[in-house]
Chain A
Amino acid sequence: MQHVLWLRTVVHRLVRASRPAAAAALLLTYAPTSGASVWEVFGFGPEGVASVSAQAATANDGTSVFYNPGGLAMGRGTQIELSGTGMLSWLEAQGATQPIHDPAGGSLAVGSDVPLEGPLANRLRVGFGAYALPSKLMRLQMRPGTDPFFPYYDNRTQRLTVIPAVAVRLASWIGVGVGANVLAGVSGPVDVREGQSRGLETLLQQDVRTVAGWVAGLRVAPVPGLDLALAFRQRFGVPFHVITTANVAGVPLRVDVDTAEALYDPAVVVVAGAVQPSDRVRLELDGSWSRWSAWRGPLLSIDTTVSALSLASHSPEGLFRDTWAVRGAGHWWFAKSANAQLGTIAGAGYETSMLDTSARQGRTNFIDGPKLMVGAGTVAHFPGLIGRALSLSVGAQWQRVAATVQDKQVCTSVPCAPDTLVGPDTDRPGEGISNPGYPTLRGHGGVFVLSVGARVEL
């Protein structure tokens, strides 16, 4: 009978929880794009890195602005965490190492109650998350179309990320939250031609336009020791659109360089559950779906007119597919005392490849494969070391990309199919191929990530 009552309570609360989830889904359908950066690829903070980002049903501090803003509502007090994250790449494409540029940065995570009185007392919490590179706000790097590289890792972590979030605890067992991810893209004209001074003069107007999107989530704790979570992160892309016009000694030149999806993150839906069988152990399992199929790809779109010649680039289509991932993590506090608590975190996960390996590539040389993620970390918590609770943590993760091999096909006669390689000679198009992925495209490797941080609870 007790089990039936428990189940009825769980179901009842889940049904009640589904309403705000549906409302949030409806809102997000019409909301602008959003996304994250290094957090999306590797995790937010040492615990996020160690748990391979299986945190949607666990995080209730500042890191929940990314993992699940609904979890923010379930926290208490004020926490401030500073952490540093570094990445080391062993990715190889065609025998050459593919480094991750700007491989280190710092994160700030803040979660805090809003000290309201009356009906909103103890219901409202705000959070703030930021990731910054040490020397620059952002690097936007789009490669030439023939470069062999890993689009899953390339130029996805080199930007400032700022997510403020607000969360509401609707009841003691349910919280909803929403955050806004704000960044900017660049667009505008550059015109260079002879001016009134008879020298070259420029008219330049570049807009760094705000790009904002949503992160939203729901967290439900139908019974003590059980947390369920649903989170949604909207797709994100930094627009870059520069139109350069010039007059080179009477020859007009116009170049339109455009991409709407640099530093891309797909739309992600996460469903998660966590159980805490005791006060020393917590286990979580996350499933996620990422909509990579909506991505146009990591290449620039070029539309140019040089003298009387007009040319436009053609990006390949249908190369990317949605991915599924399963992530699991465990937290174990193996030593607890009044002055200190020591714990360990372990995580593992698997994600399918974002490349449709059945689609043959022509000029392009994108490399990707299914990924295996393994993480581990340690947390030391000191309840009263500096008059406040202090936690020191370190997390590490290894992501391994399965080997990719694809044989290229050469064109035998013009007009050539887009998935073939072409040489310089129209009469013998299959000869003189200089594409770096010819005759066989190969890639494999992995990335090691380390994160170290400290958190203070005020």
Chain B
Amino acid sequence: MLAGFAAMLAGTRTSRATAPLLFGYGPQSTALAQSDIESPDPAASAYTNPASACEPGTRLLAGHAYAWTDLTIDDRAMPLRGIAGTDLAFQLGRRIGRRWQLGGAVAAHLPDESLAQISFRPGSEPSFVRFEPSPQRAVADAVLAARYAALSAGAGVSVLADARGDVGFLLGQDGNGTYADGATNVELPYRLAPLVGVGVDLGPVGIAGRFRGAQAVGLDLATRADVSVTGNPLNGTTLVTVAGQSGYVPATWDIGARWNPSRELRLTGALQLARWSRAPSNTAEVTMAVRLGLSPGQIEARFVRPSLRDTVSPRCGVTWTARLADRPVDLRVGYAYSPSPVPEQTGLTSWADAPAHIIGVGTGVELGQAWGIALRADLAAQLWMLRERTFDKPSEVLPFAHYRAGGRLFDLSAAMEAAWR
């Protein structure tokens, strides 16, 4: 893993990728390859499993994740936009009586420098659908949870926003010469996705389930140009509309389990079903309506839905709690296999993806009490190794009739957590 990391740094351009969607939220989940559905860090429960948001205590998590990417098509580095960001989470739980617990949590992931990056590539160009552009946007989750005896349940929403509106400009001419004027009316309506989690804690074992609704940033932007200048070929109205769903993240169903064979050892496992088959086209629909003196004929391209495949991803993790200078230290390792949802390419589109082996390692150290606050530091690393995949289209004349996709991703995640009882 270290050798792979070193090779990546030596040969690749830096990139910054979104942590929670690919790598997990927070260092614990990153190290365990997202197998901790049943026993997440309570501070990260809003994202990982809402049912754990009622864990007694008050917790605040602040972390940062940074990833390097080395994705290639035909050995040529893909120009991915950066993905790295800050994790901020807060969880509050209280015990009510002997059997009840109530609580809530919020979790946010804020990419560095921008809250979202909405991007569409031309449909005929290759793109890694899983790694761009969904990683480049913020995540904001809020949940409430309750527990009665061994049963817990939580629910909430993940908040995002669409973008729609129009931009218009006028090029005109009056007695004083030409002039330009413009107007815009763009709004960002909310887009909510449901979050649901359940859990059963039977002491040394536990099982849990989680559902995260599908999410994307919808874009519907119209640009209108009204030109009325003597002798200009575009005199008239030109209307360009661009609409699409950027950065689609599928709905996921997770089921997880935990087994503590001893006080020091915890084994976790999970299965995730991702509903990629519901994915909309990741290219934008473009129309150009012109009403000019002479309106040219245009061809509008409509790219079909990608027909992605649902995937089932197994994950497992081991946490061993050691003691270092009388302080508990968690050592974590995780593995996951992530199949590719992208089917064979047969037409003008050239989506790239490959199955991946995912390995995570990490550690967490209790730093003790300071002025009434219990502090803990966590660190994790995760490596994605994509198994190179060759795409061969049925016809030689199709764009990118033959291409190979592969590469690696490497993520580092670190966080500090403060807890009050």
Contact = CB atoms under 8 A, between A and B. Distances in A.
A and B touch in the complex (CB under 8 A): yes
B284 interface: yes
Interface string B300-323: 111100000000000000000000
Contacts of B11: none
A204 B284 contact: yes
Nearest to B373: A116
B234 A251 contact: yes
Interface string A306-326: 110101111000000000000
A22 interface: no
A313 B125 CA distance: 36
Interface stretch (B27-35, B165-173, B269-277): B165-173
Query: Which of B122, B124, B182, B227 has its CB near the most chain A CB atoms (within 10 A)?
Result: B182
Contacts of B118: 188, 204-206, 208
Nearest to A207: B114
Q: Is the interface of B mostly helix, strand, loop or mixed?
A: strand
Interface stretch (A50-58, A132-140, A213-221, A371-379): A132-140
A340 interface: no
Interface in A249-268: 249, 251, 253, 255, 257
Interface in B156-197: 161, 163, 165, 167-171, 173-190
Given A142-B182, A192-B286, A249-B298, A309 B171 contact: yes
- For chain A, the bracket of interface size reads 35 or more
B187 A240 contact: no
Contacts of A439: none
Contact of B299 (A198, A303, A307): A198
Interface in A370-427: 411, 414-416, 422-427
Contacts of A144: 168, 170, 181-183
A141 B183 CA distance: 7
Interface residues of B, number: 75
A424 B175 contact: yes
A202 B188 contact: no
A201 B115 contact: no
Contacts of B371: 116-121
Contact of A184 (B115, B168, B238): B115
Contact of A186 (B186, B189, B283, B298): B186
B242 interface: yes
Contact of B234 (A116, A188, A253): A253
Interface string A201-240: 1111111111000000000000000000000000000001
Interface of A: 115-121, 135-146, 158, 184, 186, 188, 190, 192, 194-210, 240, 242, 244, 246, 248-249, 251, 253, 255, 257, 299-304, 306-307, 309, 311-314, 411, 414-416, 422-429
Interface of B: 58, 81, 110, 113-125, 137, 161, 163, 165, 167-171, 173-190, 219, 221, 223, 225, 227, 229, 232-234, 238, 240, 242, 283-284, 286-288, 290, 296-303, 348, 371-373, 399, 420
14 contacts: A116-B371, A116-B372, A136-B187, A139-B188, A140-B187, A144-B183, A196-B125, A197-B123, A200-B288, A206-B118, A299-B182, A416-B176, A424-B174, A426-B175
